[in-house]
Amino acid sequence: MSIEIKVPPLPESVSDATLVAWHKEAGDSVSRDENLVDLETDKVVLEVPAPSSGVLQEIKVQDGAVVTAGDVLAILDENAAAAAEEKAPAARSESKATQPQATDDRKPIKTSPAVRRLLEEHDLDETTVLGTGKDGRVTKADVLAFLKSDDSSNVTPGDPAPPVMDDGGFVGLERREQRVPMTRLRARIAERLIDAQQSAAMLTTFNEVDLSKIMSLRARHRDAFEEKHGVRLGFMSFFAKAVTESLKKFPVVNASIEGTDVIYHNYYDIGIAVSTERGLMVPVIRDVDQLSFAEFERDLGEIAKKAQSGTIEMKELTGGTFTITNGGVFGSMMSTPILNQPQSAILGMHTIQKRPMVVDDEIVVRPMMYLALTYDHRIIDGKDSVQFLVSVKDLLEDPGRLLLQI
pLDDT tens, position by position, 209-266: 999 999 999 999 999 999 999 999 999 999 999 999 999 999 999 999 998 899 999 9
Give DSSP secondary structure letters for 188-228: HHHHHHHHHHHHS-EEEEEEEEE-HHHHHHHHHHHHHHHHH
17 touches 10 (CB < 8 A)? yes
pLDDT at 338: 93
CB atoms within 10 A of CB 271: 22
Name every residue whose Cβ is closer than 8 Å to that of residue 322 and which is 6 or more positions away in sequence.
Answer: 243, 247, 253, 254, 268, 269, 270, 271, 343, 345, 346, 347
Per CATH, which fold does 103-164 belong to?
Answer: Dihydrolipoamide Transferase (4.10.320)
| pLDDT < 70 stretches in the chain | 12-13, 43, 80-114, 121, 132-137, 140-141, 148-175, 405-406
**Distance (Å, rounded) from C-alpha 310 to C-alpha 318?**
16
pLDDT at 235: 92
Per CATH, which fold does 185-404 belong to?
Answer: Chloramphenicol Acetyltransferase (3.30.559)
| Sequence spans of domains, the chain | 1-98, 103-164, 185-404
Name every residue whose Cβ is closer than 8 Å to that of residue 135 and which is 6 or more positions away in sequence.
Answer: 109
CB atoms within 10 A of CB 335: 17
Nearest-CA neighbor of 118 among 90, 145, 97? 145
pLDDT at 158: 40
135 bridge partner residues:
none
Phi, psi of 162 (to 5 degrees): -65, 145
Per-residue CA distances from 163 to 114, 144, 148, 173 (Å)? 29, 19, 13, 5
362 bridge partner residues:
359
**Distance (Å, rounded) from C-alpha 280 to C-alpha 140?**
14
**Distance (Å, rounded) from C-alpha 182 to C-alpha 187?**
6
CA angle, 28 then 29 then 32, to 5°: 135
Nearest-CA neighbor of 326 among 377, 285, 288, 271? 271
CB atoms within 10 A of CB 179: 4
125 in catalytic set: no
Choice among 123, 159, 195, 381 that is catalytic: 381
pLDDT at 171: 52
Q: Which CATH number fits domain 1-98: 2.60.40.10, 2.40.50.100, 3.40.1350.10, 2.60.60.20?
A: 2.40.50.100
pLDDT at 138: 78
Exposed / middle / buried, residue 191 (Cβ in 10 Å: 0-12, 13-18, 19+): exposed
Per-residue CA distances from 206 to 110, 203, 355, 366, 397 (Å)? 42, 10, 17, 18, 16
Choice among 377, 384, 394, 398 that is catalytic: 377
Give DSSP secondary structure letters for 81-96: HHHHHH---HHHHHHH
221 in catalytic set: no
247 touches 254 (CB < 8 A)? yes
Residue 139 DSSP class? P
